[in-house]
Amino acid sequence: MDKTPDLCRVEDALSILVGKWKPIILLHLLQKGTQRFSELKRSMPGITQKMLTKQLRELEEEDIIARVVYPQVPPKVEYSMTDYGRSLEPILEAMHEWGTKHTVHKQAKLDKEAKRQEA
Amino acid sequence: MDKTPDLCRVEDALSILVGKWKPIILLHLLQKGTQRFSELKRSMPGITQKMLTKQLRELEEEDIIARVVYPQVPPKVEYSMTDYGRSLEPILEAMHEWGTKHTVHKQAKLDKEAKRQEA
DNA sequence: TCCCTTAGTATCTTTTTGTATACTATACCA
DNA sequence: TGGTATAGTATACAAAAAGATACTAAGGGA
């Protein structure tokens, strides 16, 4: 079974998940449900407003998340996963699981290297 | 169940999978087994030597792939998945599957927009 | 003798990402 | 009157990733 012509599909999936922040945003929304802009921002120390805005817009553009604006002052905007976005959950879960294992593997490797330095 | 402290794990997994080329390289190696540098390059029109080299080195550094050099001229270098690298297969498969669905979704969306333009 | 091959390096330029900072609107509170 | 809050936008800048191009070694073939 040759899958070569489909390889580009993986790139498509990746383009939605990658970036320093997207998977984290998605996991927050999956785990906590609807979140306001400021709640997301507080959950991710280090992200700038510009970046968060940009990532959210891109995810919205792909129908992964929904954006609801309440015409108030001060502004209120809520973000949530769409049904379509929730279909990403298996990938996120697989990555989460693998990431946990990977950390162990990486630590073991570092320990081994440290030992070699000692000798 | 709060998973917040584990969010970074996903980033770990991502850091290995991301980049425009890594998942494609990995799928090629998973599907075809051991490959020479030039075979990989030919499978990925558009990638530059520099990029391919860089991605392969990074994957090697993470123990995802193995690199075997034959001391010949012209040079011969073979790449293959390590056992550890093969543990990424479920993620790659999940992404592949989702990517295929996503393409359909995206196309449907474009068609709908095209229709709206006509009206 | 020149050209071909392979698996790279080296160097430079462009593009993409990310950061920092300042600014906005409008209601509420002291 | 001034400060607080929210969800942004605008601008300038720095850093990282990606791309284009030229170069290398050493043997074989025309």
- What is residue A113's predicted lDDT score, i.e. its pLDDT? 83
- What is residue A7's predicted lDDT score, i.e. its pLDDT? 61
For A65-77, the pLDDT digits (tens) are: 999 999 888 899 9
Q: Out of A98-107, B88-97, B105-114, give the one with best mean pLDDT.
A: B88-97
The pLDDT-based confidence of A1 (bands split at 50, 70, 90) is: very low
- Sheet of A35-36, strands arranged across: A35-36, A76-81, A65-70
The pLDDT-based confidence of B2 (bands split at 50, 70, 90) is: very low
**Is pLDDT at B79 greater than 90 in this prediction?**
yes
* Cα Rg, chain B, nearest whole Å: 18
- What is residue B1's predicted lDDT score, i.e. its pLDDT? 35
A92 contacts: CB under 8 Å, gap ≥ 6: A17, A23, A26, A27, A30, B10
- Inter-CA distances, B109 with A61, A67, A91, B116, Å: 11, 18, 22, 11
∠ CA A45-B91-B6, nearest 5°, is: 30
Single out the residue of A86, A88, A66 nearest to residue A78, CA to CA: A66
Beta bridge partners of B89: none
Give the chain A residue nearest B32 (alpha carbons). A2
- What is residue A8's predicted lDDT score, i.e. its pLDDT? 63
- Sheet of B65-70, strands arranged across: B35-36, B76-81, B65-70
**Is pLDDT at A110 greater than 90 in this prediction?**
no
d(CA B84, CA A4): 23
Q: How many CA atoms within 13 Å lie on the side-chain side of B93?
A: 8
- What is residue B117's predicted lDDT score, i.e. its pLDDT? 83
Structure tokens belonging to residue B72: 């010949």
For B13-54, the pLDDT digits (tens) are: 777 887 778 988 999 999 999 999 999 999 998 899 999 999
A40 contacts: CB under 8 Å, gap ≥ 6: A25, A28, A29, A52, A56, A79
Considering CB atoms only, which of A62, A87, A98 is closest to B13? A98
Q: What is the mean pLDDT of chain A?
A: 85
3-state helix, strand and coil shares in percent for chain B, rounded to the nearest 5: 65, 10, 20
Q: CB count, 10 Å around CB of B15?
A: 16
- Determine what percent of chain A is predicted with pLDDT higher than 70: 93
- What is residue A102's predicted lDDT score, i.e. its pLDDT? 77
B28 contacts: CB under 8 Å, gap ≥ 6: A7, B35, B40, B43, B44
Residues from A in contact with B at Cβ < 8 Å: 2-4, 6-14, 16-18, 20, 23-24, 27-28, 31, 43, 62-63, 84, 87-88, 90-92, 94-96, 98-103, 105-106, 109
* Cα Rg, chain A, nearest whole Å: 19
The mean per-residue pLDDT over the stretch B62-91 comes to 94
The pLDDT-based confidence of B8 (bands split at 50, 70, 90) is: low
For A38-51, the pLDDT digits (tens) are: 999 998 888 889 99
The mean per-residue pLDDT over the stretch A2-19 comes to 65
Asked if B69 contacts B77 with a C-beta cutoff of 8 angstroms, the reply is: yes
- What is residue B89's predicted lDDT score, i.e. its pLDDT? 94
Whether A21 CB is under 7 Å from strand C = yes
